[in-house]
Structure formats: structure tokens, C-alpha cells
Structure 1
Amino acid sequence: MIKSRKVHIITCLLMMLAMILLLLTQRSTEETIKYFPPDSSISFSSNHTNLKLLTETGNDQYKVKWTASSSLEKEIYLRQDISLLYMDGRLKGMKGLWKESAKDIKLEEVFEESDSSHFQAISFHHGEIHYPNDEIKSIQQMSDDHLYVIDSPHTALESFKAPDSHVQQEWKETIDNTTSQQLHFAWKEWIATAKIDVNNYHLYPLTSIIQFQEQPINGLTQEQTDRIVGQLWEGLYKNYILPIANQAKTNQQIMPLVLIDKNNDHLIVLFMDDTNKLETLYQQLSV
């Protein structure tokens, strides 16, 4: 009787341990974007990011719909998308979704804001394909969108992506100039604190790296650029996105700055963490 009870207890403990290990494994898998060699046999059938003004809600508030989605023709082992939203150069929100054995992902949020602002969103669409003999390949794509919302007591609420009137052009220039001054002031302080000689680097705000999807980094091939961008998102996800995403709300961190060494030896990402402390992410390019 005692022996049977001991066996039962040991069996229960082993089952509990197995469940804990399984949960830890799943959590580790879910909370990682990992770059693997590209799979040329699979591509996204669609992927997009969209920002759209919905309506005025009263009390000097308006609603904006933020969506990001991507689709494949067939299911693959792992799908994961992440989308980052900035308002006037400051972090407004992060959204992400992870799925096993899936082909489609859709992220969507409607949020309220006030005052005239420039919203920018950039998304990274990612997937893993597992083959026999532990061979793993990946697919990746970026998409982005932006929206100017003009909320003035003197005019009707409106939005645009590109100005089509003199008034809209003036609003765009006003918002852009204010945002640019704030960003460059912060980035200048970061660079000084990190003791970086900017003469050795090309500087890119995070939302601008989507240009490398169609245009390779100077001096590199598109294949080399794709690998660098994939590894960049891998580092961003682990060191920048996850820690902030686990917080109840963002601290409106200034948009990260990416510095690419002019000799293509390495890149550096400067950003503020979840406690508004300056962090430096270093990535060897190894081209």
C-alpha cells in the first residue's frame, strides 16, 4: 500500500514536471523571433499595415483604427507578426500575435486620441518552416503605413497620408518640424551618452528601415540586406519589444535610432527601455 502510494506520488510529480517543461518550452518558442535562411519556395500572398481615421467621439477625441495582417497560401509550422505604432515620434503601442500551424495573422486595435498628430506604424511579418532532419527555414516581410490627423477647433476633423491642399501641406510641415526637433534633440543626447562618432555611421529612424526591403544597404546585396534586417528584428524583439510589451502601458519612448557602420562592419540600435533607460543593441553584420 505504501509502495503503491509512493509510486503514485512520484508519477504525479513527474507529470507535473513534464507539464512545466512543456509550458516553459512553449513560452520560449512564443517569445522569440528567430532568423533562419530564407525559404524561396514560400512567400506571403498578402501583407499590409493600415491606419485609418474612423470618427470623432466628442470631448475633443477621435478614433483611429490600426491594423496589420499577413497571409500565406498554406499553413506553416510557426507564424508571428509584430506591429509598432508611433505618434509624433513616440511609442503609442505594440501588438503581436504568435500561431502554430497557421497561415494567416491579423492584428487590430481601435484607439482614441486628441490633437493634431502624425501616426506611423511598421510591422514585421515572420514565419518558420520546419523540414525533416531538423532543417528550419524562414520567411519575412515588412509593411508600414502613416496618417496625419488634423484636429483643430477652427476646421473640421480630417486626415490624410499625403497633403492635397495648401492647408494640409502647412499642417504637415508644422507637425513634421516639431516632431523632428524633438527626435533629433533626444537622439543627439543618446549618441553623446553612448560616445558614438556619428561620422562613421549612416543614421536611420526605426520606421525608415522598410526602405531596405526594396533597396539594399549601400555596398551590400539584397540577400545580405534581408539577412541583416531579419537579425535586426530578432534583436529588437528580444531586447526592445518584449520588455515593453510586458508592461501595462508604454512610457511613450522616443523612436529607436539605427546606426549602420559605413564600412558595413556592424550596426547599433539606440533605444529607451521600459524604464526609460538608454540601451545599446550591437549587431555584427559579418558580411
Structure 2
Amino acid sequence: MYRKNLFISLLIIAVALFTLMLPFLLSDRAAITYFPDNPRIRFTKSDTHLSIMTDEQLLHLSVQSQTIETNQLIQNFSLLYRNNRLIAILNHWQRNTNQLISARDARIRSGFYNALTVHQAELHINSDIYGKERLSQDYLIVSASGRHAFRHPKTPDEANQLSSHTRQIDLERKQLLGRAAAHYHFSPDHYRIVSLDMLTDESKTRIFPFFNEKTVERIVGQLWEGLYKNFIRGIQLTEGQSESPLGSTVPLLLIADDHMLVIIESSDHHLIMLKQNFT
């Protein structure tokens, strides 16, 4: 009888705790999800900024989003790369607001840093959900001492540092493309090839010139949704084996008229290829 009463008491406590936690569980909204656009969603700010805090020896990533009117949700989702390899992920969201400020720190090391952000706002009208994405990014070259950083070189030494990082990253991307082409049996000559960090709000209509602006918005939104679901949550190598996305390369986008291939190399040098159909 004692055990039975103890079991019932523990069950009641567990149910009560779950009930208290339920709102938090239901409010967990980590994924990037594409929704069709609505003209009422208008961003007034979408900004990504990198800086160094020399006293603390930290690299500081700050992200801001702001819209004209309050939305049901605003989300900042950023990927931070160093020398073409993912070192940190920032995923911050808030409900019923028109602005969101997010931040993430990482230990300073010398190298070429690049932060890519998708800013997303959701608007619910009756039973319909609408969305809009804006892209922003920033880059920073940190010197070997870790106490100096620049974006645009002002001295011959800074120009040499930038050139060295650029050459190394370009070489790694060419080698990755060659490995992927041999492994997956495709010809790179059949594609327009850009890296994810080249995809910006200003460049996306040039990268996808064969579609109207509305279709380009959908393609880019679905690209980020696919990256999150198939990559950021964990790289699925086999049915029972996955790998952390940290340490993976900046995705390469191979664009054809009716589809796009996304090529990534994991930290353990596994090749991953995703395919996105445009229709």
C-alpha cells in the first residue's frame, strides 16, 4: 500500500511539473521555416556586426532585426565561420515584438571570420502564416596577435593577410568541388557556383536571374530552411550516424535552371550533398 501511495504521489508531482513546463515546451521554436511573403512585413533594420574585445580576448557577434509593426515572431539565425569552417551558431527568437537584438561571443584566434545571418519575421493573419527573410553578414580579419582586426586593408601587411586568407579559402573550395564532383558524378561546368557567403539581399536576384523576385525570395527562404533541417540540427551521414555541423565548411551552391545542389564538407571530411528543386 505504501509503495502504491508513493507511486501515485510521484505520478501526481510529475504531471504537475509537466503541466508547469508545458508552455515552455510548446514555445520552443528553434527551426527556420519558410512562409509566403506578405507586404505588411517590412524590415527597417537587419544587421550583423563583428568586433573584437581585446581586454577579454573575445570576438563579439551582434545581430539586430527590426520591423515596422509587431509580428508574432522575429528570429535571428547566424552562422559564424573562421577560415571557412563553422565555429559557432546563434539562434535567438522572440514572440510578439518588432525588434530583436542577439549576441554571441567566441574566443579570439587569428584568421578570417565571416558571420552569415538570416533575419525572419512571422505574421499570423487569421489561420494563415506569412513570413519574410532578410540576409545580412559581416567579416573581419584578426591578426596573429589577436589584438588587431580590420575589414578593408589600409597597409601592405593587411593587404597581404587578406590576400593570403582569400587564396587559401578559394583553394579549399576548389578542392572540395573537385572531390564532390568525382564522388557524386556531376559536372561543375553545368552549374553556376557560388558560396553561401556570396548570397546577400543585394546579390540574390543576380545569382538567380532566371526567376522573378517573388520566386527568388521563396528559393532563398527554402534554402535556409533546408540547411537548418538537414544540416544545423546534425549532419545525417547514415540512418544511424550523425555528426555535429561545427567544423564544417561554408556551403557551396551549385545552381542550375531547375535545381540547386548544396555541397558541404564536415569536420571529419565527410562529403554531404543536398538537392533543392525549384518547382
Shorter-chain TM-score tier: 0.7 to 0.9
Instruction: Name the counterpart of 1:149.
Output: 142
Show CA shifts across 1:63-120 (max 9, x none): 22111121123321122220011111111111101222222222212222233x1111
Answer with 183-192 or 117-126: which moved more: 183-192
Aligned mates of 1:273, 1:56 — CA distance in 2: 33
SS at match of 2:112: strand
Partner in structure 2 of residue 218 of structure 1: 209
- Return the offset for 1:128: 1.2
For residues 81 and 75 of structure 1, do their structure 2 counterparts lie closer, same or farther at Cα, with a shift above 3 Å needed? same
Once the two structures are superposed, the pairs formed by residues 103-252 of structure 1 within 5 Å of their partners are 103-115=98-110, 117-132=111-126, 134-151=127-144, 157-210=147-200, 211-213=202-204, 215=206, 217-243=208-234, 251-252=246-247
Q: For the residues of structure 2 that align with 1:251 and 1:41, how far apart are their CA atoms?
A: 36
| 1:77-88 superposed matches below 5 A | 77-88=72-83
How many residues are aligned here? 264
Query: Deviations 1:184-232 (Å, cap 9, x if unpaired)?
Result: 2223212321222111111111111115346461222222211110111
Aligned AA (1:121): A
Which stretch shows the higher mean deviation, 74-83 or 85-94? 74-83
Tell me the percent identity: 23
1:48 paired residue number: 47
Q: Say what the alpha-carbon RMSD is for the aligned residues.
A: 3.1
- Aligned-partner residue type, residue 212 of structure 2: T
Q: Distance in 2 between matches of 1:37 and 1:162?
A: 37
| Shift, 1:14, TM fit | 9.2
Q: Secondary structure at the match of 2:214?
A: helix
TM-score for both structures, normalised by structure 1 = 0.80
Q: 1:148 to 1:274 in 2, by over 3 A?
A: closer
Task: Report the alpha carbon displacement of residue 144 of structure 1 after superposing the two structures with TM.
Answer: 0.5
Measure, in 1, the Cα distance between the counterparts of 2:262 and 2:22: 34
Structure 2 unaligned spans of 5+:
236-241
Counterpart of 1:94 in structure 2: which amino acid? Answer: I
Separation in 2 of the partners of 1:214 and 1:150? 35
State the match for 1:34 in structure 2.
Answer: 33
Structure 1: tracts of 5 or more residues without a match: none
- Indicate conservation of the 8 Å contact 2:48/2:115, yes or no: yes
In structure 2, what is the equivalent of residue 97 of structure 1? 92
